[in-house]
């Protein structure tokens, strides 16, 4: 083993490492592109009801209490899979019945959404539930 770390050795390590990490980056990029939803699934967000439901989600700051696909506050339940767990009628009835007034439970405010707004919010939650999250959250209740 040579006693000195030569310039040629340093250059070879630099170029070899650079090539390795460039190939690693390209491989990870290709893997991500392969796993992304197909074009039809991504364009579903162009559905006017889904867009309107997302706007309701944002203007009422639902993410201030709930998580959606793991993002948001942890004050209230995860809603990324609520459509699959509970269904559209339950979601609408739950929104209309708030606050529940149950002692010792956190209370959700009444947003006084119209039937159309509830349908739009449900359409957005349905869209969110169809996103491939690789089994996230691990707990079905979030």
* pLDDT tens profile 23-82: 999 999 999 888 776 655 555 567 899 999 999 999 999 999 999 988 888 888 889 889
Pair 68, 76: CB distance under 8 Å: no
- The mean pLDDT value for 1-19 works out to 88
Give me the architecture of the 37-142 domain, per CATH: Orthogonal Bundle (1.10)
- The mean pLDDT value for 116-127 works out to 95
pTM (whole model) above 0.75: no
Helix (H, G, I), strand (E, B) or coil at 78: strand
Backbone torsion region of residue 101, taken as left when φ is above 0, otherwise alpha when ψ lies between -120 and 50, otherwise beta: left
Q: Is the pLDDT of residue 130 over 80?
A: yes
138 or 77, greater pLDDT: 77
In angstroms, rounded to a whole number, what is the distance separating the alpha carbons of residues 111 and 73? 18
Angstrom CA distances, 69 to 96, 109, 119, 132, stand at: 24, 22, 20, 10
């Amino acid at each position: 083993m040579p006693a000195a770390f030569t310039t040629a050795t340093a250059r070879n390590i630099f170029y070899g490492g650079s090539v390795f990490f460039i190939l690693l980056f390209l491989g990870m990029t290709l893997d991500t592109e392969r796993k992304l939803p197909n074009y039809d699934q991504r364009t579903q967000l162009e559905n006017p009801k889904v867009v309107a439901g997302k706007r309701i989600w944002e203007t009422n700051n639902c993410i201030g209490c709930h998580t959606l696909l793991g993002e948001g506050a942890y004050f209230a339940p995860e809603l990324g899979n609520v459509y699959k767990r509970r269904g559209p009628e339950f979601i609408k009835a739950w929104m209309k019945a708030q606050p529940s007034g149950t002692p010792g439970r956190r209370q959700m405010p009444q947003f006084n959404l119209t039937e159309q707004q509830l349908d739009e919010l449900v359409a957005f939650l349905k869209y969110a539930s169809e996103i491939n999250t690789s089994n996230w959250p691990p707990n079905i209740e979030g």
